[in-house]
Amino acid sequence: MAGNRTLTIIKPDAFGTGKAGTILAHLEAQGFVLKAARVMHMTLDEAAAFYDEHKERGFFGELIEFMSSGPCMPMVLEKDGAVLDLRAAIGDTDPTTAAAGTVRKLYAESKGRNAIHASDSDANAVRESGFFFPGLS
């Protein structure tokens, strides 16, 4: 899986405004293949467990509140160089500085409500995919 699959989450802001399908289509048009997906409403405990690596950061409480505020859509995507390509496709965390044509430039509301999560390394892609899709091969 390393290098070829990554995890993304369409966050509650984008999912709640009906942008999930548009975002998925945008990613598929860039060559990503959907391997697994589910719609869920994370609990505070699930959000805290998923974002545990950020628990010491000042934004942790706000992040887990937001991620548990409504439905979201975790997905495993496949493509050669998936992690880096997805990070490029979604753009900077802040949509005001994201490159034109990226998911965040097109669909994010703000730095805190930025439409989409993407794994930041191959190791995290494996861990994060397993969090939502245990046993996916």
Angle between helices 122-132 and 82-90 (to 10 degrees): 80
Instruction: Give the pLDDT confidence of 6-64 residue by residue, as tens digits.
Output: 999 999 999 999 999 999 999 999 999 999 999 999 999 999 999 998 999 889 999 99
Residue 122, domain member (yes or no): yes
**Residue located via tokens 């496709």:** 89
Task: Give the residue carrying structure tokens 């509650």.
Answer: 12
C-alpha closest to that of 11 among 80, 83, 62, 79: 62
Output phi, psi for 20, to 5 deg.
-60, -50
In a domain, 76, yes or no: yes
CB atoms within 10 A of CB 36: 15
> How far apart are alpha carbons 130 and 137 in whole angstroms?
10
What CATH number has the domain bearing residue 123? 3.30.70.141
pLDDT of residue 97: 97
Of 4 and 1, which is predicted with more confidence? 4
Residue 19 lies in a domain: yes
* CA-based nearest residue to 46, from 29, 67, 26: 67
Cα(46)–Cα(120) distance, integer angstroms? 19
Domain of 16 in residue numbering reads as 5-40+72-132
Instruction: Report the number of distinct structural domains present in the chain.
Output: 1
Which residues are catalytic, by number? 117
**Residue at 88 is within a domain:** yes
- Confidence band for 1, pLDDT divided at 50, 70 and 90: very low
Parallel, antiparallel, or unpaired for β 5-10 and 73-78?
antiparallel
pLDDT digits (tens, 9 = 90+) for 69-78: 999 999 999 9
Identify whether 54 is part of a domain.
no
